[in-house]
């Protein structure tokens, strides 16, 4: 019995357009339509070397219009020896035409923030698929440079788990990794079918199907406490798709739902570091009040343990009013600091009540 061909994995529109822009920035002389369709992520999966690619060509025509509407200066260059031959037209994005206007500048503080925001760009934006596409272009004799070099700071992802998770997503293979949940004394090995890698509120999360629970779970990358192993078990992501919804979008919506449903009431001392930092992060503005006065602030959170760590670091500048579980978690951390500085040997109290947020809020996102 012959097997029906496996349909290529769907590539999100945003990823296809982004890959197209990167490819057109990577070459000075431009690329022909055939070179684009056979090498760029989002096209090459459906490209037939000697077959009918008319639908793919129509997709490319729509994508050209889309990126031009976004303000990308896409140029078309005719081959001098074949004027009028559309198949030999070359497409390019002149690097100079895509620079920021000369009257736009940034302060040192703004540049610092932009640099921090781009911390994952170099590793995350140019995926393995994009790197292989550049290699294929070079093998075809096309001069292609890594376009990220001139467009992003050379900063690396903080969590070591990011790159192997990204590779697993590209290959559609399951991963295994040790994961330490708050309140547990030892990590537990997880086997997960990865579906999306997303950033929410400044932290990276992996959303996937836990193979032990056989349910969707979201894992915080900073809690992966050991090497990530890519297994040989290939899976079809489409079996987990619900109603055509994108996995990343679904993960972000779930994280945002948890964020909005968990609210803490705290009191900060005006004029302190806590008032400035927490006001800028969680409020519309820095809390108003004369220095030394208590000011109430409402903050949202998706992980009570992370928020408790942050609030405890401000010491007496912060008082947690609600919920009670968060108040207890902060108190435990402060007591642990007192014990450590008073020479106490039993630090068990610092961890006995640090239960996972799921027990306090009903959240199931954190593994």
pLDDT of the residue at 277:
79
Q: Is the pLDDT of residue 235 over 80?
A: yes
Lowest mean pLDDT among 102-111, 112-121, 277-286: 112-121
Residue keyed to tokens 């609210």: 263
pLDDT of the residue at 273:
83
pLDDT-derived band at 290, boundaries 50, 70, 90? low
Q: Which one has a higher pLDDT value, 346 or 88? A: 88
Lowest mean pLDDT among 86-90, 159-163, 332-336: 86-90
Q: Is the pLDDT of residue 155 over 80?
A: no
Lowest mean pLDDT among 8-12, 29-33, 153-157: 153-157
- Output the DSSP codes for 312-340: HTTGGGEEEEE-HHHHHHHHHHHHHHHHH
Give the mean pLDDT of the chain. 76
pLDDT of the residue at 216:
93
pLDDT of the residue at 125:
44
pLDDT-derived band at 291, boundaries 50, 70, 90? confident
What mean pLDDT comes out for the span 356-364? 35
pLDDT of the residue at 116:
57
Q: Is the pLDDT of residue 132 over 80?
A: no
pLDDT-derived band at 190, boundaries 50, 70, 90? very high
Which of these, 254, 263, 261, 286, lies nearest to 273 by C-alpha position? Answer: 286
Contact of 125 with 36, CB cutoff 8 Å: no
Alpha helices in the chain (DSSP H): 13-25, 33-39, 54-69, 108-117, 121-124, 128-139, 162-171, 247-261, 273-282, 304-312, 324-342, 349-352, 357-361
Q: Which one has a higher pLDDT value, 204 or 183? A: 204
What mean pLDDT comes out for the span 151-176? 76
The phi, psi pair for 324, rounded to 5°, reads -65, -35
pLDDT of the residue at 158:
56
**pLDDT tens-digit map of 1-15:** 444 455 555 677 777
Q: Is the pLDDT of residue 156 over 80?
A: no
pLDDT of the residue at 148:
40
pLDDT of the residue at 284:
47
**pLDDT tens-digit map of 222-234:** 999 999 999 999 9
Residues in the chain: 367
**pLDDT tens-digit map of 296-350:** 888 889 899 989 998 999 999 999 999 999 999 999 999 988 888 886 444 444 4
pLDDT of the residue at 345:
46
What mean pLDDT comes out for the span 242-257? 85
108: how many CB neighbours lie within 10 A of its CB?
Answer: 7
Mind listing the domains of the chain with CATH numbers? Answer: 13-139 (no CATH), 162-244 (2.30.30), 262-361 (no CATH)
Lowest mean pLDDT among 120-124, 127-131, 338-342: 120-124
pLDDT of the residue at 360:
33
* Token output for 191: 């086997």
What mean pLDDT comes out for the span 46-71? 85
Q: How many CA atoms lie within 13 A of 37 on its CB side?
A: 21
* Token output for 59: 């997709």
pLDDT of the residue at 8:
59
**Percent of the chain with pLDDT strictly greater than 90:** 27
């Amino acid at each position: 019995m012959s097997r029906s061909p496996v349909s290529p994995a769907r590539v999100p529109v945003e990823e296809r357009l982004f890959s197209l822009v990167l490819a057109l920035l990577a070459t000075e002389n431009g690329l022909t339509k055939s070179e684009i369709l056979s090498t760029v992520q989002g096209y090459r999966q459906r490209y037939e070397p000697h077959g009918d690619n008319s639908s793919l060509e129509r997709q490319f025509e729509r994508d050209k219009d889309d990126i031009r509407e976004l303000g990308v200066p896409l140029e078309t260059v005719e081959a001098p020896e074949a004027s009028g031959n559309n198949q030999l037209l070359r497409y390019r994005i002149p690097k100079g035409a895509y620079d920021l206007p000369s009257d736009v500048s940034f302060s040192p503080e703004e540049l610092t923030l932009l640099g921090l925001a781009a911390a994952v760009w170099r590793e995350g934006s140019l995926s393995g698929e994009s790197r292989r596409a550049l290699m294929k272009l070079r093998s075809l004799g096309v001069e292609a440079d890594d376009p990220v070099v001139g467009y992003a700071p050379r900063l690396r992802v903080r969590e070591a788990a990011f790159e192997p998770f990204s590779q697993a997503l590209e290959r559609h293979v399951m991963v295994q990794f040790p994961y330490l949940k708050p309140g547990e004394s030892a990590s537990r090995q997880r086997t997960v079918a990865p579906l999306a890698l997303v950033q929410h509120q400044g932290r990276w999360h992996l959303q996937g199907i836990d193979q032990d629970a056989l349910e969707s779970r979201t894992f915080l990358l900073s809690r992966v406490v050991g090497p990530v192993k890519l297994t040989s078990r290939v899976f079809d992501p489409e079996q987990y798709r619900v109603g055509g919804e994108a996995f990343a979008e679904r993960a972000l919506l779930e994280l945002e739902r948890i964020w909005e449903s968990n609210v803490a009431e705290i009191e900060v001392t005006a004029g302190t570091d806590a008032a400035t930092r927490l006001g800028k992060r969680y409020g519309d503005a820095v809390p108003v009040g004369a220095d030394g006065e208590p000011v109430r602030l409402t903050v949202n959170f998706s992980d009570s343990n992370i928020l408790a760590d942050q609030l405890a670091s401000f010491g007496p500048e912060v008082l947690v009013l609600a919920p009670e579980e968060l108040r207890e978690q902060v108190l435990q951390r402060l007591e642990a600091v007192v014990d450590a500085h008073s020479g106490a040997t039993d630090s068990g109290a610092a961890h006995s009540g640090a239960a996972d947020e799921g027990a306090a809020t009903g959240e199931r996102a954190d593994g």
